[in-house]
A and B are shown apart, each in its own frame.
Chain A
Amino acid sequence: MILRSALLGLAFLQLNVMNAPPKPKSYIVLASDQQTVAANKKSTVELRFQVVDGFHVNSHTPKSELLIPTNLKLKPADGIKAGLPEYPKGTEYAFSFEPGEKLDVYTGSFTVKLPVEVTAGEHTLEGVLHYQACDHAACYPPKSLPVKVLVVGK
């Protein structure tokens, strides 16, 4: 009987270990690879980001001025004329303890569209995505994700 209880306890422990989300080093990863666009024509580069499961980040337009918005800053690059990034709309989120307080966040994947005009050849688009992440109960200090994507004009 005691041993059976011990076995059940171990099984429960194992289940908990498996379900505990590992603490990531970053809360967003860049999911876009190389992009090919028409050379010397107005095109759009799509930068897809993935928010780690169990976390959310403020959208580009959070509902409070005190919340840190997700913001992409790009470096000027030879051969790429970039316009202003277009951010997706966020989704409503509320902490379970305060369902009335709605936030505007990104979860899962989200795509930032960048209007560009690119000359023929290979170019590297570089920049930084600034964001601030939270989980269901706690928030993490603002972070910066380096962004680097190869853009080919054909």
Chain B
Amino acid sequence: MKRNAAVLAVMVVGVSLLLWAGWHNIRERRKAMQDANANRITLTKDVPSQTAASGAMGTPGNPTAMLKGHPAPAFTLVNSEGKKVSLADYKGRPVLVNFWATWCAPCKLEMPWFEEFRGKYKGDNFEILGIAEDDASKDEIVRTAKRAGVSYPILLTDNKVANLYGGVDSLPTSFYVDKTGTIVEETVGLAPKDEVEANIKKTIGGGL
């Protein structure tokens, strides 16, 4: 009995030490960062979507993390042909909402994959909406999408849609929306091609 109590006490001390060490390390790292930046100039934020990263939908570390499992925020944007397109137009279909930009190299790497999967899962009514979160001209956006071999709808940002989706402070950011309009998966940054396909399959299978 006494031996058990002693073992338990040692373990409690061990856990406490680990927690203290973690907290101490984080504090030291923060202090070192503050010291290093004390005499340096801080950037000004100059892109609307960047400010939106601290919006109500998420946390500063992972602004989009709270959207999974929730209904995809509704939006109506203008496509590259000047026509209005709403997410609601795709009700009952699995949809990949992908935020990208002309200056985003990893975005342009995955766009041909999306196009390939759009063809592969056409029978499942799968669709992709590429939202250009970009200040570039419409012509440049269209040209870039064409160069990436994209034929799925490309929508132009209204500088508000990213806010609805948690700020989207880095690209590419994708939201996989199932037939019921629920976000079943979300990814920030370039994911491996097989992971993209797995997410698409999950989206198609969701809401059955």
Contact = CB atoms under 8 A, between A and B. Distances in A.
Nearest to A95: B106
Interface residues of A, number: 42
A143 B25 contact: no
B188 interface: yes
A59 interface: no
A144 B103 contact: no
A26 B42 contact: yes
Which among A6, A98, A132 has the greatest number of chain B C-beta atoms within 10 A? A98
Contacts of B31: none
Contact of A139 (B25, B101, B140): B101
Contacts of B45: 143
Interface stretch (A73-81, A82-90, A115-123, A145-153): A145-153
Please classify how large the interface on chain B is, using the bins under 10, 10 to 19, 20 to 34, 35 or more.
Answer: 35 or more
B41 interface: yes
B171 A139 contact: yes
Interface in A29-51: 29-31
B6 to A, nearest CB: 13
A126 to B, nearest CB: 11
B146 to A, nearest CB: 12
Interface string A2-42: 01001100110110011000110110111100000000000
Interface of B: 8, 11, 14-15, 18-19, 21-22, 25-26, 29, 33, 37, 40-47, 49-50, 60-61, 101-107, 109, 140, 144, 169-173, 188-193
Interface of A: 3, 6-7, 10-11, 13-14, 17-18, 22-23, 25-26, 28-31, 64, 66-68, 95, 97-98, 101, 103, 132, 134-148
